[in-house]
Amino acid sequence: MTAPPVPSIAEAGEALRSGRLTARDLLALHRARIAAVDGRVRAFWAMDPRADALAVQADEELAAGRDRGPLHGIPFAVKDMVDVAGLPTSNGSRAMDRTPATRDAEAVRRLIEVGAVPLGKVATYEWGFVGPEQGLEHPPATNPWNIAHITGGSSSGSVAAVAAGMVRIAVGSDTGGSIRSPSAYCGTVGLKPTRGRVSGEGFFALSHKLDHPGPIAATVEEAALMLDAMAPESGGSSRLCHGAGGLTLGYARDWFADDPALDQRVLTAMDAAASALSLAGARIVEVAMPDYDLLEAVGAVMIHVEGLRLHEVSLRERGDLWGRMGTQTVQAGVVLTDDDLARAEALVPGLSAEVDRVLAGCDAILTATTLTPAPPFAAFDKGAVWTPMRTLPFNVTGHPALSVPAGFADGLPIGLQVIGRHGDEAGILRVAAALEAATDHGVLRPAL
């Protein structure tokens, strides 16, 4: 018999506080679901030995009247590029030292501080670069909607665990779309906060200038609760119930509609999402964005140069343990110079200002997250395949951006991306919550 998906945070919280469920019971439900479906999904690779003790502590505190908030007693997963005390951070690579971390990453510590229970670590693409790649230490996580298809990367295990109902929330990181693109492919909510909003202490860096830690969740509300814990000053959940009424939303349709890589079903879903928000009270205006190819080129230079700097010694000394895709990605930085990086970085303020000018005329921007549904694993049999997205520009500019479920194509999810002003995570969560309330995309779950 298949164990059911774990209950929502709201359902679990009510049961915990009424005494109908203990945190230990809730932990057991999560483990039963993992045992039932993770053999096919392949999200988890290590379990946190502290989970039982922290669940007992949560029960004792709730019984004594100490309530740490809505995440008290709620299990969560952590991407394997993030330190968890007592567990190694493998970064999905055989070349990584396996000495266990001595302390939790700051974002993980903050989640534990509000009573959340770290369940375990989940898969990532090697070093957070491209994938999926077979033949590494751990096989790549699969898409719970169709296990013959990829999750996207590099927060592959985080989104797979959430989409498959093994957890409701998971920690991810995003350098060029690694929270948002797999969330689009797997039907989860993935939030890349404003640069610097969530502490990156204890996160393995792919690019110090582009990395953004953030939440991955089953619903917008749960992503907001997670952000509230990771960055209390964000006020992420403060405007969830305000709806779309009175908002002006810029629809960056031309930014992707004519791209030859676009699956037309994505365009149909984006138009439908904009229409749903209009019917919910928002004013939709089409907006012109900065040149996408330039933004992507700037981000690519930054990733490849910083990636080479970070990994040059490891690749030279332990390259025989690296996978092919990671090796090729790092080696691409060899042809770039410090002058190339300087020229790319010099363009960033102007590009960021262009996005700011668009946002001066609207409350948020709407566009596609990815231009296709998740491709099949078979497409990668001969090596890396370019998967068209619209995510990297906002790592370059640092604006907050999230992906929220917006439809399906052949049973595979499609994600709408919402971009906001610097520091306005609450605003884009409000827009996403309005779309979630106006459609049923977010409540549908795969048949695992």
| Whether pLDDT at 188 is above 60 | yes
H or E element, residue 274: helix 264-279
| Whether pLDDT at 1 is above 60 | no
Q: Do 191 and 400 form a contact (C-beta atoms < 8 A)?
A: yes
Tokens of 336: 């770039």
Q: Across all residues in the chain, what is the average pLDDT?
A: 96
pLDDT above 90: percentage of residues in the chain: 94
9-293+339-443 fold: Amidase signature (AS) enzymes (3.90.1300)
What is the per-residue pLDDT across 213-228, written as a single tens digit (0 to 9) for each?
999 999 999 999 999 9
**What is the torsional sign of CA 123, 127, 129, 132?**
negative
- Reported as a pLDDT band with limits 50, 70 and 90, residue 229 is very high
| Whether pLDDT at 373 is above 80 | yes
DSSP string of 4-65? PPPPPHHHHHHHHHHTSS-HHHHHHHHHHHHHHHHHHH--EEEE-TTHHHHHHHHHHHHHTT
Q: How many residues does the chain have?
A: 448
Q: Is the model more confident about 310 or about 181?
A: 181
- Reported as a pLDDT band with limits 50, 70 and 90, residue 425 is very high
DSSP secondary structure code for residue 188 in this structure: -
Place of tokens 């009510």: 14
Average pLDDT over residues 285-298: 97
Average pLDDT over residues 97-103: 96
Q: Do 389 and 182 form a contact (C-beta atoms < 8 A)?
A: no
What is the per-residue pLDDT across 51-77, written as a single tens digit (0 to 9) for each?
999 999 999 999 999 999 999 999 999
- Reported as a pLDDT band with limits 50, 70 and 90, residue 448 is confident
- The residue type at 210: L
| Whether pLDDT at 383 is above 80 | no
What integer pLDDT is reported at residue 195 of this predicted model? Answer: 97
- Point out the residues that are catalytic: 79, 154, 178
What is the per-residue pLDDT across 384-415, written as a single tens digit (0 to 9) for each?
788 999 999 999 999 999 999 999 999 999 99
- Reported as a pLDDT band with limits 50, 70 and 90, residue 382 is confident
What is the per-residue pLDDT across 312-341, written as a single tens digit (0 to 9) for each?
999 999 999 999 999 998 898 999 999 999
Q: Which residues contact 181 (CB under 8 A, 6 or more apart)?
A: 152, 153, 369, 370, 387, 389, 391, 403
| Whether pLDDT at 194 is above 90 | yes
Per domain, the residue ranges of the chain are: 9-293+339-443, 294-338
Taking the CB of residue 287, how many other CB atoms lie within 10 A of it?
20
Q: Do 77 and 171 form a contact (C-beta atoms < 8 A)?
A: yes
Average pLDDT over residues 335-364: 97
Average pLDDT over residues 220-246: 97
Quote the CA–CA distance of 266 and 413 in Å, as a whole number: 10
Q: Which residues contact 182 (CB under 8 A, 6 or more apart)?
A: 151, 152, 153, 154, 155, 156, 158, 159, 160, 188, 190
What integer pLDDT is reported at residue 137 of this predicted model? Answer: 85
Q: Which residues contact 53 (CB under 8 A, 6 or more apart)?
A: none
pTM of the model: 0.97
| Whether pLDDT at 2 is above 80 | no
HSE-CB of 421 using CA atoms within 13 angstroms: 11
